A and B are shown apart, each in its own frame.
Chain A
Amino acid sequence: MYRLINLELQKLLLNRASKVLIFISFILPFTVLILSSIKINFFGFFTLELGELGIFNFPIIWHITTFFASYFKLFFAIVVVSMIGNEYSNKTIKQNLIDGLSKKEFILSKFYTIVLFSLFATVLIGLATFFIGLYYSSYTEASIIFRETEFLLAYFVKLVGFFSLCLFFGMLVKRSAFALAFLFILYIFEWIIFGAATKAFTLETAWKIKNFLPLESMYNLINQPFQRVVMTKYPDNIDMAYDYGVYWYEFVIVIGWTALFIFLSYRLLKNRDL
């Protein structure tokens, strides 16, 4: 396993474009997080301090940071599709196999790297959140701090799932740009299915179906936190109530997709003549 990760890391880190993108995808969410947590004084007119809104309180901070940080996954998604696209355009995938890498090892080296990256991103966000929370949160009892840390796990699974999807699209179309376009098409496609299901069944059934589709199921792991923030301000407003929790079946669906994407990537490569 170490050998396979080592192999892939050399390919990525010696490439300037992917090095920059990896750096950005680690640093940018981190910076945004830090910036938003400091007090900003707008030329003496007013001070903006997001901490005052209570969004940096435990345990809601876990929810908020993981939700926003997950938008930055797109940077690494570009790296993932290009690490497949480059292998095809340079024909190095062929040379790798000739040199004695098995097709299984080839896919695994990409997958391990994805897992490693996701793990690293999760730990980074986890630490940043923990310290910002400690600084701002009104509640600092351990039981409250570590409540809802399942959002971190959700974040990790979400990243691995999304990058596996990118890996599969990369393997499918062999070109980075087309693979990214496929992501967008899939997004639209999920809404089309939703629309069709709404027509055929009820709105409720349509949502249930959509919840099983890849992109929606990944999104569902960490629901939007806006309503929740409002809820904390107006706890009596029952209309605003919604289910933002992280559930085991949401994990199961995403992990299921991840396994399927990796398996399909392997099957694609196995049956392909290079």
Chain B
Amino acid sequence: MENILSINNLTKKFGYLTAVKDLSFTINKGNVYGILGPNGSGKSTTLGIVLNVVNKTSGDFSWFEGQTTTHDALKKVGAIIENPNFYPYMTAYDNLKLVCKIKGVDYAKIDEKLGLVGLLDRKNSKFSNYSLGMKQRLAIASALLNDPEILILDEPTNGLDPQGIHQIRSLIKQIASEGTTILLASHLLDEVEKVCTHVVVLRKGEKLYSGRVDEMISSHGFFELKSAQQDTLISFLQSNPDFLSVKVEGDLITAFLNQPMDASIFNTLMFEKGITLSHLVKRKESLEEQFLKLTDNN
């Protein structure tokens, strides 16, 4: 599989603070990647480094298997970081024209991409008159101008209203369906779960997980239990090696499995032990729960 970006042992220190610690992962062509992490986990810093705006402290990264310099590689990349940054006094068209000049792209692309994001009728309005949603869409149009090999989006739905969020997401899905590799940084889990095939989870600059989204979710699951004999149940669960951990919230007991176990087998087991359950549900973690587990417990 073609390698688009590989990051090896990347570290960034801001004074005493380590924003990115010994991070390694690779981005392959054709997948949709999510970088997940709470605020301040080093997502934007990592993207900043590979996009040539933040200097790394150590480690290295290479675009397209190191065949070109970073700034030449970036001409084949489309990226938006946090807020859309354009010249407020220029029209949308002129702003994109400037990007064309930087990337060496034909001006004919401008109308095509403005049409894609639905801004063609406003192309001669000044950027400063745009709403946030329109600015974000213009940023996506700008990132797509060069028909990039990879599209990098950092919190693309930040600050948008539900309609705007929906528009941007369907746009991302549409772009992904056309085979463009996407790297999406977000702290919104459902966003990543809905859009991404692969995920990298960061916390305090360290990589906690990287791999496919469905593999991350597929742990052995957990039971949600309620019983009148709560203490007996808890002590049984804690002594049983099949269970990883037990969490008690009020009268609800959550028991995380260490290895696969069917709900009916568990029920039989309870019956044999003389514990009667008033509530038994077997569930698998959503990405959100998995993510919170990863970022809290480590």
Contacts and interface: CB of A to CB of B under 8 A. Distances in A.
Contact of A100 (B48, B54, B72): B72
A216 interface: no
B86 interface: yes
Interface in A241-273: 270-273
Contact of B86 (A10, A90, A100, A274): A90
B54 A274 contact: yes
A273 B19 CA distance: 13
B81 interface: yes
Contacts of B52: 97-98, 102-103
A2 to B, nearest CB: 10
Contacts of A10: 94, 97-98, 101
Given A95-B85, A98-B74, A102-B71, A11 B98 contact: yes
Contact of B101 (A6, A15, A92): A6
B118 interface: no
Contact of B53 (A97, A105, A271): A97
B51 A97 contact: yes
A90 B54 contact: no
Nearest to B128: A90
Interface in B23-46: none
Given A10-B97, A100-B71, A101-B71, A92 B86 contact: yes
| Interface-centre pick from B69, B71, B79 (highest chain A CB count, 10 A) | B71
A103 B14 CA distance: 21
A105 B101 CA distance: 13
A7 interface: yes
B83 interface: yes
Contacts of A100: 71-75, 77, 102-103
A7 B71 CA distance: 16
Nearest to B90: A14
Contacts of A3: 101, 104
Nearest to A99: B102
Interface residues of B, number: 32
A138 interface: no
Given A7-B98, A274-B48, A98 B79 contact: yes
B54 A273 contact: yes
B199 interface: no
Contact of B89 (A15, A271, A274): A15
A90 B182 CA distance: 26
Contacts of B151: none
Contacts of B85: 90-92, 94-95
B87 interface: yes
Nearest to A104: B71
A105 B48 contact: no
A199 interface: no
Contacts of B48: 273-274
Contacts of A105: 71
A167 B253 CA distance: 66
| Interface-centre pick from B53, B55, B101 (highest chain A CB count, 10 A) | B53
B162 to A, nearest CB: 26
Contacts of A91: 83, 85
A7 B99 CA distance: 9
B87 A99 contact: no
Nearest to B19: A273
Nearest to A105: B71
Contact of B102 (A7, A15, A103): A7
Interface string B47-88: 010011111000000000000010111110101010101111
Nearest to A273: B54
Contacts of A97: 51-53, 71, 74
Interface in A70-122: 86, 90-92, 94-103, 105
Contacts of B51: 97-98
A90 B87 contact: yes
A99 B103 contact: yes
B99 A99 contact: yes
A105 B74 CA distance: 14
A23 to B, nearest CB: 16
Nearest to B139: A95
A101 B69 CA distance: 11
A16 B86 contact: no
Interface in A122-169: none
Contacts of B55: 270-273
Interface string A47-68: 0000000000000000000000
A269 to B, nearest CB: 10
Interface string A11-29: 1001110000000000000
A4 to B, nearest CB: 9
Sorted nearest first, the 7 A-B pairs with minimum C-beta distance are A100-B75, A102-B71, A100-B74, A91-B85, A95-B85, A274-B53, A273-B54
12 contacts: A10-B97, A11-B98, A14-B90, A90-B85, A90-B86, A94-B81, A94-B85, A98-B81, A100-B74, A101-B102, A273-B48, A274-B54
Interface of B: 14, 48, 51-55, 69, 71-75, 77, 79, 81, 83, 85-90, 94, 97-99, 101-104, 142
Given A16-B89, A91-B85, A95-B86, 5 more contacts: A7-B98, A97-B74, A99-B74, A102-B71, A272-B55
